[in-house]
Structure 1
Amino acid sequence: MKAGMFKPLKIRSFRSLFGAQVFSDLGNWLDFVAIQVIVAYNWGLDASAIASVIIVIGLPWVIVGPFASVFVDRMPKKPIMIVCLLLRILFVGGLFFSPNLYILLVFVFLKGTVAALYDPARQSSIRMTVPDDELPEAVTLSQLSVNTMKIIGPALGGGIIALFGVKSPFIFEAIGFFIAILFLLTMPKLDETTEQLPNVETNKGSYWRDLTEGIRHIAQTRLLKVSIILSSAAFFIIFLYDGLFVFIAKDLGFSEGTFGLLISGVGLGSVVGSVLLGYWTNWKEKPIHLMSGTSVFSGTLIIAIGFGSMGILDLPLFMWVGGAFLLGLLGSGEAVPYGYVLQSETPKQMMGRVSAAAMSIQTFSMLIAPAVGALLAKLASVAAVMISAGISTCLLGSFVLLFLLKKIRSTSIEKPSVSVKKISG
């Protein structure tokens, strides 16, 4: 096991970028808790109102991010991120003063739009600040921030609400974004000289040509294309049952007070998984193998949980929490390798467009999945949806593994793209 996960933090630019991400991620989860509490408890609205909030959070990533990412690639990344954070502070103020759901949704959409611009710029900055041989560690640290804040953010948000009132998390979120700006101000100017791909004109072309260039790169880069398809399908399957998880937990015997243990188990597993992958980076030679392999094991766990919901498999609660931990652990086996493939298989000058297009595909699958899951639950049962999701996850991973084994002698699918690697003299 190689103790080099924190190696990229020795780079001043990445250290500033990572510090900004930690506070940005924390702010996002403080925000998510506060909005749900306001809608459900303060305003007394139903589940459809919560669903509308979640949909509006995701929409900018689908309909705005991919189109605006062309400008992100053309402009300096550091100023973009700082302006985005300033606008997020402004829109958080709008959320604080929102008098009803409709005004709140407007500011949720605006804040999501800015976030859909910030993330491609952040992804591009990682590519520009970290050398290729340290990308696995950098991507792991980034994913570790996301997973850790998923645990800390909701817990901290609940505590802040209890101490200071229902809207107080917005104030702390704005402070977090301001601290993120301070981190970015310490970041040295990025070297944004681009390495052009063969047969690509060096001068900036038309907007539509630049937009389609990013999509074309995904279509022509097999490793990247496979990883995006695999992760998008996995996201669809996860969100198929994610909204039904509370009913699954009830069937397993969890009460309102112990349901949080199940969610915490998933979150803790994802953090531990990220740390392990950060120390052991040999997976970077075969990232798709790891993604598909963990899918098979994840699917088996999901099927077991479905059987438990039906009463066929009866286990103590602590074992179900352990299963949730393993589910989170295996989830990192998909998220971290995907992030590495996205970074290593994309040229620096196209990082914004490619990451935004990939996020658009993933977010679209995440948005439509809950509705499909709810429909299937009505037609069959919640347990049936869970078991079907598990079977689909197993089949997805198995199909990709069989494809890799079939092609292993005739293709180099797991080798990094020549076009992305630096050509050393």
Structure 2
Amino acid sequence: MKRGIFKPLKLKSFRALFGAQLFSDLGNWLDLIALQVIVAYHWGLDETAIASVIIALGLPWVIIGPFASVFVDRLPKKAVMIVCLIFRIVFVAGLFYAPNLYILLLFVFLKGTVSALYDPARQSAIRMIVPDSLLPEAVTLSQLSVNTMKIAGPALGGGIIAVFGAKSPFLFEAAGFFIAVIFLLLLPSLKSIEESDAIMSEDYAAKRNFWKDFSDGIKHIFHTPLLKISIILSSAAFFIIFLYDGLFVFIAKQIGFNEGNFGLLISAVGAGSVAGSLLLGHWTAWNRKPVHLMSSSALLSGAFIAAVGLGGLGFLEFPPLIWIIGACILGILGAGESVPYGYILQSETPKQMMGRVSAAAMSLQTFSMLIAPAAGALLAKSLGAPLVMIGAGMATTLLGLTMLMVIWKKSRSFKSISEKQLDG
């Protein structure tokens, strides 16, 4: 079914929310290179310091986000997002003036904390303002923003550093968050929707209990088969991706890429993910079987990942252009996993629980992303990077195949919250 990916932008409220997300996503990725340049080049620190920065970025999503999201579900979403953006501006200023690694890590952690609060509020706002009929396009646009800024942010950050200096991206990042605040000020009030959802909530009559609200979000995941299986699939996929992600540069050298053209390989993956998001936004028939698409994409992408590993061992020899095309296809398949997951998360979660459920899912995914690089490095030392890559590819294919078998067997049990069959 072909539909317009930009159709949700006709909604004034979503237009304001999406504008804020563009600048917020840009800010999330703009300082990535700046942090590494400051730590490695200006301060002359080693790989452990870089790893500590990455851990400080991800840790709030694991240990704070799921608990704080209970309050996000109770509070006005527009106000939460604006306050989070203002705090991000303050913490970015802290990064700009940080005199040493320890102060830098503190502000990286604080910035990650407010980001872990902002995202559940944004997810809840999408669920509130977008009708079910436009959810596939809205989720795809949201993922398109994430994928595009993953490419544009670091590239723009590198250019800014070259022209204005190592700490200059922080200033542009703060400006981006300020523009995002302006967009959110244009967002119509969500108060009437939130009050309606509260009245419909089962525990509205009594004062809500923190641990009950927290556990309700977890229970919803476990009691919703379609949502549960998609979170497991995406978390496992994240673990596998980050298992080999840090080894990719070493494999690239072995298949013939030098410092000059290695960036083309990474850019091809990013360009493929953007192209895949656009494709899924125009043809939305996948929303009837989203887990089938996620699983099939994992099955196929595993073959490409294993092929790169075989190239590192010398069993496959292709010119750089073929590898670049393969990387682009890998990016397209990556979108085939991330976009349907975002749709399932939105469509299978009640509005009043969106913050808790999305934060719990993100916590599991981020935990996978944090532990995977260390596991990958240990395996690479004992087995070699190409074998880790081959193993990751085989695991990805096996994961996709297993999930396809599971959903084919249990497809009749996958009911959405509206009791409408979405997947099978």
* Counterparts of 1:369 and 1:14, CA distance in 2: 35
* Counterparts of 2:361 and 2:237, CA distance in 1: 13
2:208 matched to which residue of 1?
205
1:296–1:397 CA contact under 8 A, matched in 2: yes
1:344–1:420 CA contact under 8 A, matched in 2: no
- What amino acid does structure 2 have at the position aligned with 1:306? G
1:283 matched to which residue of 2?
286
- What amino acid does structure 2 have at the position aligned with 1:358? A
Indicate whether 1:256 and 2:250 are aligned: no
2:51 matched to which residue of 1?
51
- CA shift at 1:154, angstroms? 1.1
After superposition, where does 1:220-259 map in structure 2 within 5 Å? 220-259=223-262
* Counterparts of 1:306 and 1:35, CA distance in 2: 30
- What amino acid does structure 1 have at the position aligned with 2:119? D
Deviation per CA, 1:145-180: give whole Å up to 9, x if none: 001111111111111111111110000000000000
Please, which runs of 5 or more residues in structure 1 have no aligned partner?
none
Of 293, 302, 306, which residue of structure 2 is paired with 1:303? Answer: 306
Of 338, 343, 353, which residue of structure 2 is paired with 1:340? Answer: 343
- What amino acid does structure 2 have at the position aligned with 1:350? M
- CA shift at 1:28, angstroms? 1.1
- CA shift at 1:407, angstroms? 2.8
Q: Pick closer, same or farther for the CA change 1:160–1:198 going to 2, 3 Å.
A: closer
1:296–1:395 CA contact under 8 A, matched in 2: yes
Indicate whether 1:96 and 2:96 are aligned: yes
| Cα RMSD for the two superposed structures | 1.5
After superposition, where does 1:10-409 map in structure 2 within 5 Å? 10-190=10-190, 191-195=193-197, 200-203=202-205, 204-408=207-411
- What amino acid does structure 1 have at the position aligned with 2:98? S
- What amino acid does structure 2 have at the position aligned with 1:210? D
- More displaced 10-residue stretch of structure 1: 190-199 or 279-288: 190-199
- CA shift at 1:192, angstroms? 1.3
Identity of aligned residues (%): 69
- CA shift at 1:199, angstroms? 9.1
Indicate whether 1:7 and 2:43 are aligned: no
1:235–1:365 CA contact under 8 A, matched in 2: yes
1:194–1:348 CA contact under 8 A, matched in 2: no
* Counterparts of 1:303 and 1:371, CA distance in 2: 20
- What amino acid does structure 1 have at the position aligned with 2:50? I
Return the TM-score normalized by structure 2: 0.96
* Counterparts of 1:250 and 1:137, CA distance in 2: 39
- What amino acid does structure 1 have at the position aligned with 2:255? L
- CA shift at 1:45, angstroms? 1.1
- What amino acid does structure 1 have at the position aligned with 2:271? L
1:92–1:170 CA contact under 8 A, matched in 2: yes
1:195–1:347 CA contact under 8 A, matched in 2: no
- What amino acid does structure 2 have at the position aligned with 1:184? L
- CA shift at 1:403, angstroms? 1.6
- CA shift at 1:314, angstroms? 0.4
1:303–1:386 CA contact under 8 A, matched in 2: yes
Where 1:257 maps in the other structure, the secondary structure is: helix
* Counterparts of 2:204 and 2:396, CA distance in 1: 42
Return the TM-score normalized by structure 1: 0.96
- CA shift at 1:135, angstroms? 0.4
- What amino acid does structure 2 have at the position aligned with 1:189? S
* Counterparts of 1:290 and 1:193, CA distance in 2: 36
- CA shift at 1:418, angstroms? 2.2
* Counterparts of 2:56 and 2:336, CA distance in 1: 29
Please, which runs of 5 or more residues in structure 2 have no aligned partner?
none
- CA shift at 1:263, angstroms? 0.5
* Counterparts of 1:291 and 1:25, CA distance in 2: 24
Where 1:193 maps in the other structure, the secondary structure is: helix
Count of matched residue positions in the alignment of Structure 1 and Structure 2 = 418
Q: Pick closer, same or farther for the CA change 1:419–1:90 going to 2, 3 Å.
A: farther
* Counterparts of 1:156 and 1:131, CA distance in 2: 35
1:347–1:420 CA contact under 8 A, matched in 2: no
- CA shift at 1:420, angstroms? 9.2
* Counterparts of 1:192 and 1:211, CA distance in 2: 18
- What amino acid does structure 2 have at the position aligned with 1:88? R
* Counterparts of 1:166 and 1:198, CA distance in 2: 51
- CA shift at 1:194, angstroms? 4.6
* Counterparts of 1:80 and 1:201, CA distance in 2: 22
Deviation per CA, 1:298-343: give whole Å up to 9, x if none: 0000010000011110000111111110111000000000000000
* Counterparts of 1:20 and 1:397, CA distance in 2: 34
* Counterparts of 1:303 and 1:19, CA distance in 2: 38
Deviation per CA, 1:9-60: give whole Å up to 9, x if none: 0111110000000001111111111111111111111111111110110000
- CA shift at 1:83, angstroms? 0.4
Deviation per CA, 1:189-211: give whole Å up to 9, x if none: 01213547999333342100000
* Counterparts of 2:280 and 2:2, CA distance in 1: 10
- More displaced 10-residue stretch of structure 1: 396-405 or 217-226: 396-405
Where 2:204 maps in the other structure, the secondary structure is: coil
